Structure 1
């Protein structure tokens, strides 16, 4: 297990200052994540599959490449051309990885869609994107069939699973691949060519399609490698004995590209990492924070097709010897409450855990240190500009409750409504500049919103090629560059004249033994404008009573400002969540507004 670095070993400034991007003109995600490994280490494990039904299989990089070649040929036979959108409605499984490699080496655009989407959500995205083919698992085949009639561009369905595809325009996965050659000549792609179209989770409004270029994967790497405590590599073998600061950025920069190509140089020791995350591969968190970067470094990823549960998560990590993971705060909270002392029950090999999507909070932070034996590296990003802020406990100290600092290669600030940098401690909008501290273009940026040029322009303050990009998330930055999350700008509200950020109150509530999760929203109030209301999901073994309400209110009063305690608490079985694991406070806020209108 890699020990966390102490405050005396803060190498952040040297690493960040020396880091330089190296983005090649020609770059392909398929080549970087599969083809080169299929040539160099064809028998190395790539995908370790297991389902909740008891099925399991291990697939190598050679098998991944051959299956991708067959699928590329099959898609080409069905008329898919460069730039066409191909929907992927599949869970974590081998075929999903195959689909991304196959679509990418065609020069087409992969459009992952969640298995949890109903017909209406599928219809909107398929129509908006004009997807020409969909790769779909049996479990959601009926939903796809129900909307095909209103999606005229959608010509074919390739069906994964044992169900019978007998309708026109449908073909089974195995039949499609068995008819094709295992050789394929991949398209030559530019680093700026589109790779993936991911629709935002819609926490604050209608989903928008963010078009992600090939180079964005490179832009993710400095954050991925840092948040995973260097992902099993040891590029600085003499770190404990001291290291030349100037070498830090140089070696790290090679993770993003070097003279021989955008992959680790021969100087790096081979990583022993095994990765798993419950994050859906249909979302940025699962695709760009888990699947693709793991394959980029030629390591195996566990693909688990089944429902998340805390006990199952620990079982999987112990069985496969998982060393690195992305566990979103909702999952960590559930694991903390269900299995308070996991190392007493499971033989874990965890070396690093990254968390993102919501604020982790110091309760979860402390539990990870005490019970998992590691410092959780909180990360912040969004679909459009992912993996831009976070921690690397191996190279600089994490601070409980902080989102971390800008990762190497990214220039991040907190700005006000006029686009000016806020002083330390003053809340503002987290923003990322199109150019890094050296003035070089940051490769992490999306190309724009699909068919929404006005929304794309509104995302930037000024010239999109040399300006700040606003995230819509509020935070403060301290004098050392650490960011402290305040909430989405639309989640912030005023109560009795005080500006309220929900995350701090939610984190405080979760520290109580009776609380599994919580969401805080404003409740309309004629006298004060709004009052603080908390929706609380109880931990197992607890019952919602008036006595518990008073205890929770006193719990918050004793720890936060008097105006922050929830004046009203409502117990709820589960919080409304997006399919990417984020709390939909907007749903609860609208519910409170609707109740106020009929009161």
Structure 2
């Protein structure tokens, strides 16, 4: 395969119209096309395997009904509307209706408890909340302290304070003229996952839809191809589900599968087989589970999968090799964050994918590794991955967020000159590939050595005893810190002697990595603390270790481990 990267990167030019509306681009324009109106937009399957099919025409008409209903409620341009619905067609309807009004969508996970919902709804001063029976208890519990919240719309919710979804829509016309919005107008208020601290609301403009496309197309091996169907278990309330799956699929007028229910490896394979899924975004955590549960999937399932994108954590060489051997697909790793998504990644059919690498900057994005002063680091030097406000041709990058919601200090701190810092550490090699070194908060020193958790975790994952793992520093008076691993065991090892497993794992790492990298201590737990986006919360584990050494410092923090 020839390396075509330089051609694509150097020749790329942004074409962002002055006026842009996500609902028009992802829904209404397709519904107005006679040839496309009855194209399937959404395949939906719930926990009980009840299924629905939504065409672009149905999606557009239902969104128009909701737009009319929200208008009568007094929702106007710039107002925030909370959407707590998970993967279901009504979630997409809500987004399209909100964008059509020029209002701002506030996507929230239906896994959030009352405090998490209250924090975000209250901070955003949302006027309306749309939710279903899955999240109703938590939404209603948060209601008393969300004083700006005036209207509640519920699906299968029996409460006198809640207007039923169907009752609202049935009285509304199916025609609505979308408000004209600029590409720079705010469209989405996405709160960060809280991996490294308190969540902040990243305000995204309509232009991020265009900004995500080069990376999406490349990471999905030049999506769309005829007959492409997309599925991802990623929650549509997060960047991964919304910007890496749902919106770009609809932008291209293709079909996406929406599913409800707890993720399992077997069900993931069943979904991909049943709907003939060609393209997917799977977190490394999901891929690890699938690899462990079904090591030889083609013996059990008829798959037509042609592209896998993965992000959130490093895939690692073990999972990378399994995808190639068991699925006959080279996974395209991608890197981005809520504030600026789809920055770096691979597209192995156009340029070589290096196992373990984050990839190269996608066309349209000027990405560099910078030091504390904002200077570009030398090849091989670890620094902060950052995005410049302008691409290599001097044009504004449409993927960049507008700022943190009502938090000018945090917005200012995010930038060093024209560089927007991600807070993720990496090094760039001579060919422009980036190699992840961890979050700035995750990297630590032991006996003077700088250690990132990723390499050690990937090494441990190669061992058949390890289902999942997180590496953090354990405070140590002599060394400053020692390497500690929290390990989730695979089923066949759960009843075996822990001391013997520990010695085997330590030996496994010490023979493969540097002597200072092997875990001096290993603790076995039932599950790792994860964000709802599938990222390991190493911060929680670090705090746990700090609290064990200094209980007063830990305060009231508690961890749920068994």
* TM-score relative to the length of structure 1: 0.91
Is residue 230 of structure 1 aligned with residue 222 of structure 2?
yes
Higher RCO structure (Cα 8 Å, ≥6 apart):
1
Deviations 1:337-394 (A, max 9, x none): 0100011110000100000001111111100000010100000000000001000011
In the alignment, which of 193, 199, 211 is matched to residue 191 of structure 2? 199
Distance 2:49 2:39 in 1: 23
SS across alignment from 2:32: helix
Distance 2:59 2:172 in 1: 15
SS across alignment from 2:77: coil
- Counterpart in 1 of 2:159? 165
- Counterpart in 2 of 1:32? 25
Counterparts of 1:41-120 in structure 2 under 5 Å?
A: 41-120=36-115
Counterparts of 1:425-444 in structure 2 under 5 Å?
A: 425-444=380-399
Q: Alpha-carbon deviation of 1:57? A: 0.6
Distance 1:165 1:43 in 2: 36
Which consecutive unaligned segments of at least 5 residues does structure 2 have?
553-562
* TM-score relative to the length of structure 2: 0.97
Is residue 500 of structure 1 aligned with residue 451 of structure 2?
yes
Counterparts of 1:514-529 in structure 2 under 5 Å?
A: 514-529=465-480
Deviations 1:174-229 (A, max 9, x none): 11100100010110010000010000001111000000000011000000000000
SS across alignment from 2:43: strand
Counterparts of 1:307-322 in structure 2 under 5 Å?
A: 307-322=262-277
SS across alignment from 2:287: helix
Instruction: Say what the alpha-carbon RMSD is for the aligned residues.
Output: 0.9
Counterparts of 1:460-475 in structure 2 under 5 Å?
A: 460-462=415-417, 467-475=418-426
- Counterpart in 1 of 2:205? 213
Q: Alpha-carbon deviation of 1:232? A: 3.5
Is residue 459 of structure 1 aligned with residue 385 of structure 2?
no
SS across alignment from 1:389: strand
- Counterpart in 1 of 2:525? 572
Distance 1:283 1:176 in 2: 27
Q: How has the CA–CA distance of structure 1 residues 107 and 598 changed in structure 2, closer, same or farther, with 3 Å as cutoff? A: closer
Distance 2:176 2:480 in 1: 63
- Counterpart in 2 of 1:559? 512
Distance 1:489 1:548 in 2: 31
Distance 1:292 1:140 in 2: 23
Which consecutive unaligned segments of at least 5 residues does structure 1 have?
1-5, 234-270
Q: Alpha-carbon deviation of 1:539? A: 1.3
Deviations 1:556-583 (A, max 9, x none): 0111101000000001110000011100
- Counterpart in 2 of 1:335? 290
- Retained in 1: the 8 A contact 2:217–2:224? no
SS across alignment from 1:386: strand
Distance 1:146 1:354 in 2: 37
Distance 1:589 1:229 in 2: 38
- Counterpart in 2 of 1:407? 362
Q: Alpha-carbon deviation of 1:165? A: 3.0
- Counterpart in 2 of 1:259? none
- Counterpart in 1 of 2:11? 18
Distance 1:20 1:597 in 2: 54
In the alignment, which of 437, 446, 451 is matched to residue 486 of structure 1? 437
In the alignment, which of 345, 349, 362 is matched to residue 390 of structure 1? 345
Deviations 1:530-577 (A, max 9, x none): 100000011121125100100000000111101000000001110000
Distance 1:366 1:399 in 2: 11
- Counterpart in 2 of 1:251? none
Distance 1:146 1:228 in 2: 41
Q: Alpha-carbon deviation of 1:598? A: 4.6
Distance 1:298 1:337 in 2: 35
Is residue 135 of structure 1 aligned with residue 125 of structure 2?
no
Name the count of aligned residue pairs: 548
My pick for the range that moved more, 137-146 or 38-47, is 137-146
- Retained in 1: the 8 A contact 2:229–2:254? yes
- Counterpart in 1 of 2:168? 176
- Counterpart in 2 of 1:254? none
- Counterpart in 2 of 1:266? none
Distance 1:177 1:232 in 2: 33
SS across alignment from 2:450: strand
- Retained in 1: the 8 A contact 2:224–2:252? no
Q: Alpha-carbon deviation of 1:65? A: 0.1
